[in-house]
Amino acid sequence: MKNSLIVLAQSLEQPRIVKRINQKAKEYDRVHVYGFTRNVHSVENHEVLAKNQNVSITVAGQLKNGRYHERIFTFLKLLKMLYAKYGFRKKNVYVFGLDLRIFASFLMNTSIDYEISDIVWLYDRKGKKKVLRFVDNWLAGKSRKVVFTTRSFYEGYYSKSVKESQVVVAENKLETYGKVKPIGEIKDDKVRIAYIGAFRYAKIIERLIASVNNNPNLILNFYGATHGKLIDKINEAVESNENIKYHGPFKNPDDLEKIYSENNLNFVVYNNTSENERVAMPNKFYESGFFNVPIVCATKTYVGKRVLEQNMGWTIDIDYESISGFLNGLDIGKLKEYSENIKKLDKRHFVA
């Protein structure tokens, strides 16, 4: 095994980050994690790390969503902490995300592995986007290894700056930790729609709610956490519709088997007008594949292409007419047919 690794992580609540730290704990004698809390609900996803005696965790501060200028002071405190502990000697560092990759460039004598699971600058306007794209590609090229959660990120945005020899593709497959198992038979009483995880696409969620509104043949379940006006709209929908429920935050993977067993359709219709969403591979693809629950994704997306190739479900557009027409025309027999298709797939495609 290698000697020691410093991990810089934006959130210790993110299952993908927890999974990667566990993997690194098998490669290094010591793994020192410096992570941040977030101003969202905590379900202690990172407590599974306690099983690794060679992993230590230091909470370096709190990162608030959208308050990027405040992160500068938090990062400066962390920089001081790291130099006080490790000085200028040789360091192996693993970072998640562009902000921490920029931060890591101020650490002297480091060999850096950089994980990219979300291309944040794709959301920015033209001028800022151009600058951040240049910075991100330059820093990626300077990294020892660049870990992409989907090869489409590399081929679409980094192939000119990152050598093939630097590339590692680590898809965001489900890590079960032996706590969950596939579902034998999906529910067959009604169409039960699950929206699981981050509630990021307000307009799409509003259209989803409107499509289900007062239709007794459809049940809509929300699982996850958010804040602001969107959660207010979800709560309003719950109060006015008996067939819409909000179940709050959940623990990954502990609660996933129960969640998927209560539903028969995984709604993963994300904003296909965004470049990032068009090329991303959300973890919901792997969860559907493992739990044998059909999935519906947005058209013109890489994940939608994979869903159709694997015969796991459908793709639809993101407007109200498309969402409503699909859901209200769906029958249980088709859901069961796709579930049977998924059962035949090799689970190694979906599990880490």
Residue 47 clears pLDDT 80, i.e. is over it: no
Q: How many CB atoms lie within 10 A of CB 249?
A: 16
Tens of pLDDT along 104-124?
A: 999 999 999 999 999 989 988
Amino acid at 348: R
Confidence category of residue 64, pLDDT binned at 50, 70, 90:
low
Fold topology of 2-169: Rossmann fold (3.40.50)
Question: Any bridge partners for residue 295, and if so which?
Answer: 266, 313
pTM for this predicted structure: 0.89
CATH of 191-349, picked from 3.40.1190.20, 1.10.3660.10, 3.40.50.2000, 2.60.120.10, is: 3.40.50.2000
For 308, residues 6+ apart whose C-beta sits below 8 A from its C-beta are 314, 315
What's at 287, amino acid-wise? E
User: Range with the lowest mean pLDDT among 12-26, 95-109, 321-335?
Assistant: 12-26
Angle at 39 between CA 254 and CA 73, to 5 degrees: 130
pLDDT on residue 13: 80
Q: Does 2-169 match 191-349 in CATH topology?
A: yes
Domain ranges of the chain: 2-169, 191-349
Which amino acid appears at position 68 of this protein?
Y
- Confidence class for position 91, pLDDT limits 50, 70, 90: very high
